[in-house]
Amino acid sequence: MNKPLKIGNVTTRGNVFLAPLAGYTNYPFRKICARYGAGLCYTEMVSAKGLKYGSENTKELLYTRPDEGLVAVQIFGSEPDVMRLACESEELAPFPIVDINMGCPVPKIYKNGEGSALLENPALAEKIVEECVKSGKIVTVKFRIGVSAEKIVTEEFAKRMAGAGASLLTVHGRTKDKMYAGEVNFSEIEKAKKAVDVPVIANGGVFSLQDGKELMEKTGADGIMIARASLFDPQVFCEFSGRDRGSRYEMFANQLSMTREVYDERFTTVFMRKMASFYVKGMRGAAAFKERLFKAETPDEVLELARQIWTE
């Protein structure tokens, strides 16, 4: 596993991707995951409308540096002209790949006719892809298999997205109403793979190398995408890349240092407390550690607590 994959006119480092995760996949976290072997990393989900109106919060989500190499941006919205404007914006210039979110199950997004709501409006979804392709970007689509078990749309939706010009499809093998729980439907992802000529990435339920192999074997997908598992353990990518995991503390210290370079002290403290609480899941003494952790008021205090739990 983890072989390079061609998407349009670019080639990824491998075929095990880091999913776009709202609130988490910022530049430092992407850098950490890439270091351990993530073949392609995505930004957090960005509002096309936010870009149109010059939202500073939206722009912050797009922070990157040339040393990151190939990285994809994920945008969401429901207006084809606004989506194309986003693709053509200066803010998206560093990103050759634009992924369109058609799977987000969050009620606020769905009620706005965005994210997974587009599964119920394939004609609009097609128009969005067609308009975004006109920008000259490599356009990809991430979608779910349907909004509910009674409304499965995978095969037809995949055909329409590829037909509209998408260069790669990522299929999350759950319906919108399942959110992030429940069994992943391998056969629906397989149907998408058989229905189109572009690469298909399988997403859902990968927490280990064995999970990843099973997902690839049962779907025939060209690669996999890892989401929540990376929040608990960015070093999960080592299982696929063969890279050395190294020290958990060094990983944390590197992430904190990079986060501090990019963001202010308050954000760094809050964000790295959150990450540390993920990283200790299942460890002995985790509850007591978290209690102390959330009292830490500076990045240095967070780092010292991390040193105590991972090196003593």
Residue 188 CB partners (closer than 8 Å, separation 6+): 145, 152, 154, 155, 171, 173
What span, in angstroms and rounded, lies between the C-alpha atoms of 172 and 103? Answer: 8
The backbone torsions φ and ψ at residue 10, rounded to the nearest 5 degrees and listed phi first, read -120, 160
Q: Which of 41, 104, 132, 238 is catalytic?
A: 104
Question: Around 208, how many Cα atoms within 13 Å sit in the side-chain half-sphere?
Answer: 3
Known catalytic membership, residue 104: yes
Catalytic residues: 104
